[in-house]
A and B are shown apart, each in its own frame.
Chain A
Amino acid sequence: ETGVTQSPTHLIKTRGQQVTLRCSSQSGHNTVSWYQQALGQGPQFIFQYYREEENGRGNFPPRFSGLQFPNYSSELNVNALELDDSALYLCASRAPTGSFEQFFGPGTRLTVL
């Protein structure tokens, strides 16, 4: 266990709907990153939040958005869901020290029908 928790575990949505995924970072970790892991692929970086602001973004459209709260927990929101959004969504947190080691949560499995 890494101390990073995510909810829900599984989610089924239909095309065009919106979804919100949640992440609680490990205690004291103020940086949270989100990754998308499609079936048979490695995780791909979506974006990162630091001190409640987006601090880096991967190659994902604006319908992928996020929030970070004062307690460092975070949300990933996806609007206008597409079939290709079906994936495992991973949250990772990092301590405020110089190490780049990230700790991953168990993920949320999103299925878009």
Chain B
Amino acid sequence: AQSVSQHNHHVILSEAASLELGCNYSYGGTVNLFWYVQYPGQHLQLLLKYFSGDPLVKGIKGFEAEFIKSKFSFNLRKPSVQWSDTAEYFCAASNTDKLIFGTGTRLQVFP
């Protein structure tokens, strides 16, 4: 069955710390991968996406993710987080329009 797993449910960091959020997927065939962010009270916003090509993908706000096919992973990284990065982060996968989301990781960044 198609699924997306996010292992970190709640992450607490201080400003300037480095961030890595894990995402693993189980999907047959070609897969498109996404990271979405949901700031408090706001709509889901696309951070970055991977369809093909360079497995290191750069997104908005300094985020990047690396697609490692052999590990079925698509981890999100940011070298130095800011207080404004406090939000819920969702990994998602698809090979059609049907997005399969992980359960999300709540990130809290303290000044």
| Chain A residues close to B by CB (< 8 Å) | 2, 4, 31, 33, 35, 40-45, 48, 55-56, 58, 90, 92, 94, 99-107
Contact = CB atoms under 8 A, between A and B. Distances in A.
A48 B99 contact: no
A91 B92 CA distance: 16
A48 B96 CA distance: 11
A100 B51 contact: yes
Contacts of B70: none
B101 A42 contact: yes
B100 interface: yes
Contacts of A104: 36, 43-45
Interface of B: 4, 32, 34, 36, 42-46, 49, 51, 90, 92, 94, 96-104
Given A2-B43, A107-B43, A43 B99 contact: yes
Contacts of A4: 43
A33 B98 contact: yes
* From A44, A100, A101, A106, residue with most partner B Cβ within 10 Å: A100
A56 B96 contact: yes
- 9 smallest A-B Cβ distances: which pairs? A42-B101, A104-B44, A106-B43, A45-B98, A43-B101, A42-B103, A104-B43, A42-B104, A100-B32
Given A100-B32, A100-B51, A100-B94, A45 B46 contact: no
Contacts of B96: 56, 100
Given A33-B98, A100-B32, 6 more contacts: A2-B43, A33-B97, A45-B99, A55-B97, A100-B96, A105-B43
